[in-house]
Structure 1
C-alpha cells in the first residue's frame, strides 16, 4: 500500500528553516555561497551573512568581482548589508566607489594612499571602529590636524592608526581627546623616539581610554616603552595580524572570525 502522504517531506516553519541554514553557514565557513542556490529565500538569508563582512585584499580578482557586483545592484543593497568593510589594498578610486555605496558600515579599515588634498569619503552613518592612515585624516598640510570633526566619529570606540606621522611633522592629536566614546586606540609601525612622547600624551589625556595598543617589531623601541611607561592599559604587539600570518588573518576575517580587536578582547 502506497501512502502518498507519509512520504512527503515535512515543511518546517520559515523561522526554523532560516536558523538551520544560518547555523550551517556559520559552522561551515564558505558554505553560504553554495547555499544561495537552494532557493530564492535562502539566497536572501545567505547574502545577509555573505555581505555582512567584506574584505578586499588579495587576490585582485576578488576586488574586481565585488566592483562588478556594485555596478549590478542598487546602492541600497550594500548600504543595508555591509557592516564590516576592510579595504587593505585597493586603489583610491576603487575605495571611493565602494565607500559611496557601503554607507551603513560601522567597522571600517581603509589603508589606501589618499591623493592630497583629497580626503576619504567617510560613511554618513557614525563609525564605531576605524583603521586608517593618519595621512588620510589630515585636513591639510598646513594644520596637521586629523579630521576627527566629521560626524562619522561621534560614535567611534576603536581607532587604529596604521601609519603615524613622520618626525618632521608635528601632528596635533588633541582632537582625539574630545571624542566622547573612544576607548581603544592602536598605533602601528612605531619605532621613533618622538612616538614615545605621543604614547604618554594619549594615556594622560584620553580620559575614556581603556586600551592603547602599540604595534612595533623594533626591540630597542619596545624596550624603551617598558622602561618608561607603566600603565595596565598599554599593550604591545609585533604586528597587527599577530599571531597569524598575513593571508590567514584576512581569510579568517572574511569568514567572520575575529579581527585585530576581537583577538585583543579574547586574550
Structure 2
C-alpha cells in the first residue's frame, strides 16, 4: 500500500465494517479476510448478544440474520460468548439454530422462558457455559439430556417458584463446579437448606425487590439479599467481568467477615457499605 493512501480514523472504520456486517450479513466471510484489524472488529461485534442490543455489541435479530447467511462459517462458534435470549413466540427453531451455531457460549440467559421448548433442549446439551440463568422448572424434566451443559457452570441464577425444597436441592447436585448461586422468588428457608447441603458454594444471593427486612437467626454469612431492578444490565456487566451482584455479594461477605458490617447479623447490602 502506498504511503499516500488515505487512512480512515479507527472509529469510522469500525462503524463502516460493523454496519456492513449488519446490513449485508452474507458478506461477513469476505469481511473477515480484509485484515486482522477488521477480523478483530467483527469478532468483538458478535461477542455479547442481547434481545435489542441493550448495552451489548449485537442484537438477537442481527445475529440470527448473520448466521442464516453464513451457516457454514465457523466464526460464530468462537465469536459469540454471551447470549441473553428473550421469550420467542415461535416453537424455538430460531433459538435452536443460534445455539447450534454458537457452541462457544460462556454466559447464557434463558430466564424469560418459563418452559423451554423441547426443540432446543438438544442444542442446550451441546453447550458448556460458565454462567447460566434459567427457570428450574424448565430443566427439571430434561436434566438427564441437559446434564453435559451443567458440567462447568460456576455461576447459576435460578428462578424457583415451587415450595418443593427437595427437588431444588437434588437439581443442584447436577452442577459439580457451582460456586455462586442466585435464587429468584424463593423463601429464606430454601437458601439456608442449600447452604447447609452444598459447602462448596461461596455465596448464595437471594434476588428480592422487597424493602422490608427481618432478622434471621443463625443465618450463614454466605447468604446475601440484593434488590435488583435491571437484571439484563447486571447480566451484561457480569459478562464483562464487572462489578455485578455476585461480585458485590462477595465483597459484602468479605467485609462482614472482617467485622466491617454492622450489625454483624445483617445479610442485605446497603448503599453505605460501599460495595
Shift of 1:80: 1.5
RMSD after superposition = 4.0
Matched with 2:34 is: 40
Tell me if structure 1 keeps the 8 A contact 2:100–2:126.
Answer: no
Residue 65 of structure 2 aligns to a residue in which SS?
A: helix
Matches within 5 A, 1:204-243: 204-220=196-212, 222-223=213-214, 226-239=215-228, 241=230
Matched with 2:61 is: 64
Matches within 5 A, 1:1-267: 8=3, 32-34=14-16, 36=18, 40-41=34-35, 42-57=37-52, 62-74=59-71, 76-91=74-89, 92-111=92-111, 112-114=113-115, 120=121, 121-122=123-124, 124-139=126-141, 150-161=147-158, 163-167=159-163, 171-177=167-173, 179-190=175-186, 195-220=187-212, 222-223=213-214, 226-239=215-228, 241=230, 249=233, 253=237, 256=240, 258=242, 260-261=245-246, 264=249, 267=275
Tell me if structure 1 keeps the 8 A contact 2:83–2:108.
Answer: yes
Unaligned regions of 5+ residues in structure 2, if any?
A: 21-30, 252-274
CA distance in 2, matches of 1:80, 1:149: 21
In the TM superposition, what whole-angstrom CA distance separates every residue of 1:208-257 from its partner, at most 9, and x where no partner exists?
1001010012345x42xx42352221111112637xxx6xx279659957
Shift of 1:51: 1.2
Unaligned regions of 5+ residues in structure 1, if any?
A: 1-6, 11-19, 26-30, 141-145
Residue 227 of structure 1 aligns to a residue in which SS?
A: coil
TM-score (norm 2): 0.66
CA distance in 2, matches of 1:262, 1:49: 24
CA distance in 1, matches of 2:245, 2:235: 13
In the TM superposition, what whole-angstrom CA distance separates every residue of 1:137-172 from its partner, at most 9, and x where no partner exists?
1216xxxxx5596112111111101x2133479634
TM-score (norm 1): 0.68
Q: Flag the 1:234–1:33 CA change in 2: closer, same or farther, 3 A.
A: farther
